[in-house]
Amino acid sequence: KYTKFSICYYWINSLDQKTSIYSRLESVTIPSGEENKTAALSYDYRIMPLENTSSTGMYYCKVKWNDIQKMGKGVFVLVRDTGYINTSYGWEILVTLTVLLAVLSITTTALLLWKRKVLCPRRNQPNILRPEVETQLPSASPPPTPVYD
């Protein structure tokens, strides 16, 4: 009694209009020893391509035996014009941050080296700012006593 059934795929649009997509008749043979047992069978159907945004709606599957009808919970499908556009900017932000840090690092290093060159000239360069030391002749008077003594 339940070996012959029909499978129907349909969708309901936003105006609650039911549109049949596909239907087929199935006939299943029951192996010996499996009579009077519940069986679950999978049937897949791909709906491709969806024409336009009016294809948005709930898609259902329904199975009919002679006196019984079972309907699936349905799947909501949203169809867009341009397709899905990923708006994640993770890589762009990472590359921008890396370039910015590299530029700042190079600039800071250059400034530190330039500042060091200005403040600490090399030893073989003549020091223009060196004060000239006066030479004193030794005299008989003792040197002045420092204040902290």
What is the DSSP annotation of 136-147? Answer: ----SSPPPPPT
- The single residue listed with the structure tokens 């590359």 is 95
Determine the pLDDT at residue 95.
92
Q: Are residues 22 and 69 in the same domain?
A: yes
Note the pLDDT of residue 120. Answer: 64
Q: Are both 60 and 112 inside the same structural domain?
A: no
DSSP category for residue 53: G
Q: Residue 68's domain spans which residues?
A: 4-29+39-77
- 125 belongs to a structural domain: no
Distance between CA 2 and CA 5 in Å, rounded? 7
- Residues (pLDDT < 50) of the chain are none
What confidence score (pLDDT) does residue 81 get? 73
Asked whether residue 127 is domain-assigned, the answer is no
Q: Could you tell me if 113 and 93 lie in one domain? A: yes
Residue from 49, 80, 46 nearest 61 by CA = 46
In terms of domains, do 54 and 116 share one?
no
pLDDT at residue 131, rounded to an integer? 55
Residues 64, 104: one domain? no
| 73 shares a domain with 8 | yes
**What confidence score (pLDDT) does residue 147 get?**
66
Q: Could you tell me the pTM of the whole model? A: 0.47
